[in-house]
Amino acid sequence: MCYSVGIKISKKQTVKVGGLPLDLDPIDIPVQSGFSYDQWPVIFKEQQGAEKVLRPSMMHWELIPSWVRNKKELEESRKKYTTLNIKSEGIFTNKVAQAVVHTNRCLVLASHFFEWQEIEKQKYPHCIQIENTPLFYIAGVWNTWTDFSSGETKNSFGIITTEANEAMSKVHNVKKRMPTILDDARANSWVNEHLNERQIQEIASYQVDSSIIKAYTIAKNFQQLQDPTTPVDYTIFTTQTLF
């Protein structure tokens, strides 16, 4: 799955999504756990008048179920299941995602993410990046949730995950999942609201090529470090090559 991500945009930059230039402000979050239920940068289409306009925004990471009526109920629902990730295989049957996947798809911004490899009953964390790509897109779905107790309204999202490709199967070697990382063409398509179910499913299940995956071991306490991406060597890896 994908529960820890990081992003670094050193200075204001412009990206093109669907032919539209979008300005991204500088941001530096070396690592964030989804279980902190915090804000994360995404690109989504927002209704403005009669049109939907593509724009970047900070959004609550956790696709909040529409039937959850307040924060207390939300805390209870978290004990039963997580909506930080949505499996691509069940995107049309997932009770939370199915209501929005046809209309509310977004791009989650990231520079790297983290996964654990299990060897001889020990787990070793890895930082995963995309070669020569300091900023990439992960497929996501979003909704607007209202807390009926307070009247507060917030946008929330979940990350789409797919079956691991060859490279990620070696890293995330137990559950064998990975985020659905999209190239520019698929990212442009993902935020097109006119996709049919077959097109949505194809993009949601897409596996980025193993040849551009860069993975290396890091400290087991990486979430507490100022730079969680610093490489750390473990003796168990000295006689083998990850890829």
Give the angle 160-162-165 at the CA atoms, nearest 5°: 140
Give the Cα separation of 105 and 63 in Å (integer).
12
Q: Render pLDDT for 59-99 as a digit per residue (tens, 0 to 9).
A: 999 999 999 999 999 999 999 999 999 999 999 999 999 99
Structure tokens at 171: 């890293």
Neighbours of 110 (CB within 10 A): 26
What single letter denotes the amino acid at residue 149? S
Mean pLDDT score, 159-175: 96
* CATH numbers and ranges of domains, the chain: 4-237 (3.90.1680.10)
- pLDDT > 70? residue 237: no
Structure tokens at 84: 């930080």
Q: Render pLDDT for 23-70 as a digit per residue (tens, 0 to 9).
A: 999 999 999 999 999 999 999 998 888 888 999 999 999 999 999 999
Average pLDDT, the chain: 94
Task: Please report which helix (H) or strand (E) contains residue 105, including its range.
Answer: strand 105-110
Mean pLDDT score, 190-213: 96
- In this prediction the pTM is 0.95
Mean pLDDT score, 122-149: 97
What 8-state DSSP symbol labels residue 159?
E
The strand pair at 4-9 and 112-119 is best described as: antiparallel
